[in-house]
């Protein structure tokens, strides 16, 4: 995406897409509970019917197994839909709020209302999940939506476009495929909300365009999420869970532990358990495992290969640009200034650093931008409370990794450099709704205390408002 491009052949078409949806939104259908529920059911049915096509596309783009495709993409989207279908009547219900005596006899409530037309810009690493889950929130909240899947995962982009075309009238929800020029044309339009999942570089472009129309945004980014390992845990279980979370989707997961901060007394045994876990998961040669994914393209494979070569490999390290393969890799002898520690890795490379005391580990985490997640393996309640209290992140998980991102009841999102805004479950509904404040007052009684002249009234007001 490039801001302020002088000529864009897609601009006129983008204007037509947005105008068409604004006209449909003005008809008022999307405000009805029944309409929203029926459209969510249509989406659910389309996903179920397209499951085979989706799995095939994910295998082509990212080498995902059917199991991983369902657990991390299809199943999560179905859970989001089922949650919304069940809870939507309660979410839409106006909430009464109390008022102080000075407002008597008024009544007040907060009523969620749709925003209008939402733009959803998806990412390539979990292309189904990060396009469909925000769409579920947009539909539940009563909006129209334009979905732009990532062109970096072309097979899945086509599958998403076909699925949405099957489920919806384009006046209501449409999917638009294409490259940066299409994204640029869309971002030049006035939307009522923009929902972006991706990296910080493009996020700045999204923000720069959104500010032209004062459009609110949700940015789901990433960052270097630390994983702290204390010496009081079962290292075998910790290693198994860390290896699962780090090498899921070949490490291309925004919530993956980006680096390990291991107490120096347990580094050696933890490394042995990590190596054993990888072999248990993927065999002696992960490149031949049907359960281990591939890097999305040659560019990112080469980028990751350069990072591998910049550090000391403890195990793994194999790279094939031709086959878009990077082995599950653990490296050490890196410090905070090492290139591998300067940006989110977004691949199956796990650097290991050590610390002597938990306070030092926390200080190291806090010296860097706020991550999307902080992970801690410890059975000590005091240590758990210390990390929860003294670090700031989008979310936190104790004695596991990534799992918090799959719970519809937990708001998902970042803080600071790792993003802004929340979704999943009710958080997504709230994010894409306007909580309209409403007050109702009768014309009688009309107490004159608030009207001028104000002589001798201040003392009375102080008493009432104090």
Out of 220, 227, 230, 344, the active site residue is 220
With H, G, I as helix, E, B as strand and everything else as coil, classify residue 52: helix
**Is residue 64 packed enough to be buried (19+ CB in 10 Å), middle (13-18) or exposed (0-12)?**
buried
Residue 50: CA count within 13 A, CB half-sphere: 25
Q: Could you please report the per-residue DSSP string of 308-366?
A: HHTSEEEE---EETTTTEE--EEEES--TTSGGGSS---SSEEEEEEESSHHHHHHHHH
- Indicate the Cα dihedral angle 438, 439, 443, 444, nearest 10°: 150
Q: How far apart are CA 296 and CA 340, in angstroms?
A: 19
With H, G, I as helix, E, B as strand and everything else as coil, classify residue 66: helix
Q: Going by DSSP bridges, is the β-strand pair 329-332/312-315 parallel, antiparallel, or unpaired?
A: antiparallel
Out of 83, 254, 344, 397, the active site residue is 254
Alpha-helical runs (H) found in 93-199: 129-140, 154-167, 180-187
Active site residue 254: yes
Contact at 8 Å (CB) between 399 and 377?
Answer: yes
Q: Which residues are catalytic?
A: 220, 254
């Amino acid at each position: 995406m490039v801001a302020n491009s002088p000529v864009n052949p897609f601009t006129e078409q983008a204007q037509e897409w947005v105008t068409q949806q604004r006209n449909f939104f003005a008809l008022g259908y999307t405000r009805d509970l029944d309409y929203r529920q029926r459209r969510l059911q249509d989406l659910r049915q389309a996903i179920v019917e397209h499951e085979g096509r989706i799995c095939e596309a994910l295998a082509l783009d990212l080498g995902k197994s059917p199991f991983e495709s369902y657990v991390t993409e299809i199943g999560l989207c179905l859970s989001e839909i089922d949650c919304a279908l069940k809870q939507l009547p309660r979410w839409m219900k106006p909430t009464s709020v109390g008022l102080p005596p000075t407002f008597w006899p008024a009544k007040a409530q907060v009523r969620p209302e749709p925003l209008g037309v939402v733009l959803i810009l998806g990412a390539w690493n979990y292309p189904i999940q990060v396009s469909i889950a925000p769409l579920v929130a947009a539909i539940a909240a009563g909006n129209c939506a334009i979905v732009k899947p990532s062109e970096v995962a072309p097979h899945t982009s086509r599958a998403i476009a076909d699925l949405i075309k099957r489920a919806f009238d384009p006046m209501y929800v449409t999917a638009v495929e294409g490259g940066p020029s299409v994204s640029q044309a869309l971002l030049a339009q006035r939307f009522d909300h923009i929902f972006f999942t991706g990296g910080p570089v493009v996020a700045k472009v999204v923000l720069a365009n959104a500010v032209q129309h004062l459009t609110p945004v949700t940015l789901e980014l990433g960052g270097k999420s630390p994983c702290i390992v204390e010496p009081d845990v079962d290292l075998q279980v910790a290693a198994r869970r860390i290896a699962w979370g780090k090498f899921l989707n070949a490490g291309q997961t925004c919530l993956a532990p980006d680096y390990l901060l291991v107490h120096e007394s347990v580094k050696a045994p933890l490394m042995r358990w990590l190596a054993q876990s990888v072999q248990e998961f993927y065999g002696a040669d992960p490149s031949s495992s049907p359960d281990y994914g591939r890097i999305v393209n040659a560019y990112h494979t080469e980028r990751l290969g350069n990072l591998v070569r910049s550090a000391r490999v403890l195990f793994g390290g194999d790279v094939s640009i031709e086959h878009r393969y990077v082995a599950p890799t653990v490296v050490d002898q890196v410090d905070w200034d090492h290139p591998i520690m300067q940006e989110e890795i977004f691949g199956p490379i796990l650097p290991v650093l050590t610390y002597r005391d938990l306070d030092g580990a926390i200080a190291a985490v806090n010296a860097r931008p706020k991550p999307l997640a902080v992970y801690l393996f410890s059975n000590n309640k005091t240590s758990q409370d210390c990390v929860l209290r003294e670090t700031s992140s989008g979310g936190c998980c104790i004695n596991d990794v990534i799992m918090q991102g799959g719970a519809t009841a937990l708001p998902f999102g970042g803080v600071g450099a790792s993003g802004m805004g929340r979704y999943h479950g009710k958080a997504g509904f709230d994010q894409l709704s306007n909580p309209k404040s409403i007050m109702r007052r009768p014309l009688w009684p009309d107490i004159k205390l608030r009207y001028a002249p104000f002589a001798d009234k201040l003392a009375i007001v102080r008493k009432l408002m104090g």
